[in-house]
Structure 1
Amino acid sequence: MSDQEILCDVGFIGLGVMGKNLALNLADNGYKIAAFDLDTDKVNDAIKQDEVERGENPQRIFPCTSYTELLAKLKSPHLIMLSVPAGKPVDDVCHKLIDAGIQADDIVVDTGNSLWTDTVQREKDFEGKLLFFSTAVSGGEVGARFGASLMPSGDRYAWTRIAPMLKAIAAKVDSTTGKPIERFEPGNPVLEGEPCATYIGGTGSGHYVKMVHNGIEYADMQLICEAYNIMRTGLDMQPSEIAKIFRDWNKGELNSYLIEISAEVLEHIDPETQLPLVDIILDQAGQKGTGLWTAVSSLQIGAPSPTITSAVYARALSTLKEDRVKASTILAGPDISAMNLDKDTVIRELHDALYCSKICAYAQGFQLMSMAAKEYEWSLDFAGIAKIWRAGCIIRAVFLQSITEAYQRDEDLTNLLMDPFFSEQISKFQSNWRRTVANSTMMGIPVGGFSSALAYYDSYRSAVLPANLLQGQRDFFGAHTFARTDKAAGKKYHVEWSHKDRPIVKI
């Protein structure tokens, strides 16, 4: 049978790292792919890899040289997945598909890291021309190839059509234990297990949830880096020693993909210098924007997310390398020679600090999603969201099973800190958390993640905060008014302050 006689199940546009691996994943699960990319080398590379992996089996990926040819090779109604850079490229592809003859009931799925508000606008812009749908993807290159965490949202009808496909290529977890079912070889998809793909909700909600996932990821990574820095700088431990500590931690409550890969990074020796690679990686962190978007959204909605925001600021501070080098020769730090800290004790306390801070980071993320759901009238299933993050995604961790159970116990849970399990965990470990923050501060080691998480916890558990004085200040200089504790809610009051510091001159 010739290529012209074969009708494919899915069109795939954008065969970069993520696109190629998603296409191969689809092929493993029995789907025939019509592939297009402006760079034909990327299409050829995907086909060559498919040839190697499928062996004697029939061809699974078919090249296309135009959008018109892509549509011609697809079964009708058409289903097309995009893996192109966020922003204008997504719109450009959609317009080109419209010009090529795509129909109103054809589905176009954006799998990129789009800003959620762009997704909302696109559904409006392309209404009546195509069904625009979004599926946020987490898991990086390996996740795309062997099973990612997928966060689809948009038109319900479109979801019913593509749900089997997305659930097939998603990561899987054991429905009894909640643990990931690993797959690291091509051509042998996981057919059993609970898929890490569920309908999130209305247009844009999937990309919003993925955005918050990435914000939590920023916080989680920063907290791990602060733990590393305390051991490296404060305890003068070698990277290989710290890797062993991380591997030990990965056997318990802190078990996660990020802890696992951190240990691997710390163990890696640079072949050129024979030094630990981490010691010669420049300490300037990059970012692609999703953490920033999360921080901005939390500020706009008024959802306190200080640990996530602190992680974004930490990356920004890291880019000021020249300034920091100069400041290190001018700005004095503490004398830590007399602290005489016990290494084993510090490490034990550090474990608990990381665990408690991690709980708070996730609590902030889930509270942000909860407040956003009310703001944008989404109905989000937080137990379901935690479930699909248990495998495939970057923040996958044993910890997420406990979050799933927390929301199964109480679907209206206002904050993870209020769940009996998590409140007991922090009560049990908070003393070591506080000592870690105190000792790190006395050593002059920055712990913006740990300290912001602790401040969040202490603020959230405080029945009274100093915002009463703040409201007095606002009323003093701006007549912003205030509520009273001894009067009915909703009423506002104002005081005619003396203004003795700046007397009003009457003319």
Structure 2
Amino acid sequence: MENKHQIGLIGLAVMGENLALNIAGKGYSVAVYNRTPDKTRQFVAKAPGLALAGKFSLAELVSSLEKPRRILLMVKAGQAVDELIEALTPLLEQDDILIDGGNSYYQDTRRRAGVLSAAGIRYLGLGVSGGEDGALNGPSLMPGGSREAYDELAPLLTAIAAQIADKPCCSYVGPDGAGHYVKMIHNGIEYGDMQLIAEAYHVMQQVLKIPPAEQSSIFSAWNQSHLKSYLIEITADILQRQDSQTKLPMVDVILDSAGQKGTGKWTIHSALELGIPVPTITAAVYARFLSTFKTERLTAAQTLTGPSLIHDQDVSDLINSVRDALYASKICSYAQGFALLKAASANYRWNLKFGDIALLWRGGCIIRAQFLDKIHAAFTHNPHLTNLMLYPYFSSELARAQQGWRKVVGVCKQLGVAIPAFSASLDYYDSYRQNTLPANLLQAQRDYFGAHTYERIDIPGFFHSDWTNLPKLIK
């Protein structure tokens, strides 16, 4: 009798291939399927020493698996996942497990979990971060959905995950769409991190005229400090690379038009729905949008005027200020992301463990950073912390960094150098710490034109005024 395989994997694009190799490399037998048979044959042939078996129909894949069957879907998010689930469902039995390891929208995952649960099939939405290298050598995994299914899969998932201090970057997140939601927030914070680093580079390039190779050394030095992270590390590496054709710095031959796959937009949509301000992440997403208007920007550069790019700043002092602006803004970006996680946890009754989520991101993923230990400490000390900026370590760091942060924003505004995420972060910090904001005038305006009512500072309740008949102040 043929031995049954321990898990099936569908979808052999780069992430699917590397996860299959990772799983098989940890001693599990894996049946793989791709809709293109040649792709399946070629993949299995490349790894003859591993327990990988190619299957050439969904029925063949399903019948080759141990029961309860465990199938990891690594296909493009959206309609492809729904079509695959529809095709698989008649082939599956009670208690089989489907795992969606793609970047699915969390509301789709919630819907699919409900439908499959009614059919007796257990479903996991598995956030996977780390790119190609992480998938092969140890990603950060964010599993959400059936707790029972996770408990059965935990030995496999924790074995293939990144390991930091002998602990896997994988633990159960919460029910239905929680895993994919946490991955979405990871990506939203990633947008913010990347834009902030790009703005630090931009300030040093535009204001201080520091060439990429010298910037590489600066970022390398920063990576030995509290800013230590994967994104700082790769930025330093990128900035020292040379284009083999032109001999110019590689970064200088890359068109300044950035792409995106949608998770940043999803983060903003969720923030709007839940009423949570995420200005740093929003600025980062809009910065990518604006970058794609290259033709219009070239025209505008010839038409719209700005100030002269002449500065009298001490170079060393401004570099240190950029470092401080980057760290302070990073704190704000993470504060926004975790505030959104907190609101979603309450709204969807997920009971997210925020300190544990920070630990999931310490290795394998794109935003892995030394900084995450501080976030874990913050939520360990106070699981009900309303905003990371209020934790003593972060509030003291913001106080320490704000002079340089304000200097960078002020200098760039005077010189006409766009730094949308630095600016949005500082405005978030200043707005959050204010006793009084001008929303009182907004409420007066809303009541004036739309009778929307307002609250008073001295009497409880909601009020409406006949503004045209209110007495005027005596001049």
TM-score above 0.5, yes or no = yes
Q: Offset of 1:440 from its aligned partner?
A: 1.0
Amino acid at match of 1:46: F
Q: Is the counterpart of residue 323 in structure 1 residue 296 in structure 2?
A: yes
1:452 alignment counterpart:
424
2:378 alignment counterpart:
406
1:179 alignment counterpart:
none
Q: Is the counterpart of residue 295 in structure 1 residue 268 in structure 2?
A: yes
Of residues 141, 144, 163, the one that matches 1:172 is 163
Amino acid at match of 1:104: Q
Q: Offset of 1:409 from its aligned partner?
A: 0.5
1:394 alignment counterpart:
366
2:186 alignment counterpart:
213
1:309 alignment counterpart:
282
Paired residues, what number?
469
Amino acid at match of 1:255: K
Aligned ranges 1:94-493 → 2 under 5 Å: 94-99=85-90, 101-126=91-116, 127-174=118-165, 193-337=166-310, 339-488=311-460, 491-493=461-463
Amino acid at match of 2:463: Y
2:467 alignment counterpart:
497
> CA offsets per residue over residues 103-143 of structure 1, 9 Å max, x none?
12110100000000000111122231522221110111111
2:473 alignment counterpart:
none
**Residues 356 and 433, structure 1, Cα contact 8 Å, conserved in 2:** yes
Question: Percent of aligned pairs with the same residue?
Answer: 47
Q: Offset of 1:166 from its aligned partner?
A: 0.7
**Residues 98 and 129, structure 1, Cα contact 8 Å, conserved in 2:** no
Q: Offset of 1:41 from its aligned partner?
A: 3.2
Quote the Cα distance in structure 1 between the aligned partners of 2:4 and 2:65.
5
Amino acid at match of 2:253: I
Quote the Cα distance in structure 2 between the aligned partners of 1:423 and 1:49.
52
2:73 alignment counterpart:
82
Quote the Cα distance in structure 1 between the aligned partners of 2:42 and 2:193.
35
* Structure 2 unaligned residues grouped into runs of 5+: 471-475
Q: Offset of 1:251 from its aligned partner?
A: 0.3
Amino acid at match of 2:144: S
Amino acid at match of 1:67: L
Quote the Cα distance in structure 1 between the aligned partners of 2:376 and 2:324.
21
Quote the Cα distance in structure 1 between the aligned partners of 2:7 and 2:27.
11
1:187 alignment counterpart:
none
Q: Offset of 1:158 from its aligned partner?
A: 0.8
Q: Considering only aligned residues, what root-mean-square deviation do their CA atoms show, in Å?
A: 1.2
SS of the equivalent of 1:135 reads strand
Structure 1 runs (4+) greater than 4 angstroms displaced? none
Quote the Cα distance in structure 2 between the aligned partners of 1:86 and 1:443.
43
TM score, norm. by length of structure 1 = 0.91
> CA offsets per residue over residues 122-179 of structure 1, 9 Å max, x none?
11222315222211101111111011111101111111111111111110111xxxxx
The verdict on how the C-alpha distance between 1:264 and 1:484 changes in structure 2, with shifts beyond 3 A counting, is same
SS of the equivalent of 1:108 reads strand
Of residues 26, 30, 38, the one that matches 2:27 is 30
SS of the equivalent of 1:5 reads coil
* Structure 1 unaligned residues grouped into runs of 5+: 175-192, 501-507
SS of the equivalent of 1:136 reads strand
SS of the equivalent of 1:498 reads helix
